[in-house]
Copies of this chain bind each other. A is one copy, B any other.
Amino acid sequence: MAAKRSGAESKGSGRGGASGQEPRSEPPLSLERIVATAVDLLDAEGVDGLKMRRLADRLGAGAMSLYWHVGNKEEVFDLALDSVLEYRGPSDIVESRDWRGNVVHMLEDWRASMLRHPWSASLLPRRALGPNILIRLELLSKALSRAGVTDADLNVAIWSLWNFVIGATITRANFDLSDDDRAAAQQRLTGLSQHYPTIERSRLLLDNDWDGAFRKGLDFLLDGLAPRQ
């Protein structure tokens, strides 16, 4: 992932090194490098931190060079997003047994991949579906069929799981930023406990076990979709 940063000599006159750590003798610009660097930048600075100028800077390229390789900023987002959703499944899907294990594994991996890049979940629903998510949906479809979900219910089941994963991951990725805020919210809730007695008592806003809640909620949903007989 990280660039190799070979020690080398500078190109010509200095560029007024404000950043101080600009690598020298860069490999030429390429889509691959641009996408990889965009992911790094997004990880470091979030969605709002991705600016075309800054990206070019990180690449050691002139400010506007990117526009030769990419149509516009949107395209950078699309490419960065898909590059982050790759799935290296558990060996082969031929393993017919334990459809449920396969599904849970893939969905937990999906969520984990997006949480490693907290900008990605929010982006996913508003962009065209790239090949890497299609692979995941296909796996889902196969497994659910095998589990006995009827053809008439198949699409509903897939979208239900999609909704659950997207909703959980977007929520988690965004709440993550505001740990103190959450305490403050629960505090406020306590002050208003006459209005919200039930969620105040269960300490809904303080509940911190995101991974457990995802896993248990997913189990409930799968129970509903394909009841174990």
Contacts and interface: CB of A to CB of B under 8 A. Distances in A.
Interface in A62-111: none
Interface in A158-201: 158-160, 162-168, 170-171, 174-175, 178, 181, 185, 189, 195-199
B220 A157 contact: yes
B155 A204 contact: yes
Interface string A132-161: 001101100110010000010111111110
A129 interface: yes
A213 interface: yes
A223 interface: yes
A202 interface: yes
Interface in A118-137: 122, 125-126, 128-129, 131, 134-135, 137
Given A122-B122, A141-B202, A162 B170 contact: no
A160 to B, nearest CB: 4
B156 A217 contact: yes
A181 B137 contact: no
A204 B141 contact: yes
Contacts of A126: 122, 170, 174
A159 B175 CA distance: 13
Contact of A163 (B135, B151, B168, B174): B168
A222 interface: yes
A61 interface: no
A170 B170 CA distance: 10
Interface string A207-229: 10000110011011111110100
A206 to B, nearest CB: 9
A160 B155 contact: no
A204 B156 contact: no
Interface of A: 122, 125-126, 128-129, 131, 134-135, 137-138, 141-142, 145, 151, 153-160, 162-168, 170-171, 174-175, 178, 181, 185, 189, 195-199, 202-205, 207, 212-213, 216-217, 219-225, 227
The 4 closest A-B pairs by CB, nearest first: A224-B224, A167-B167, A163-B167, A160-B217
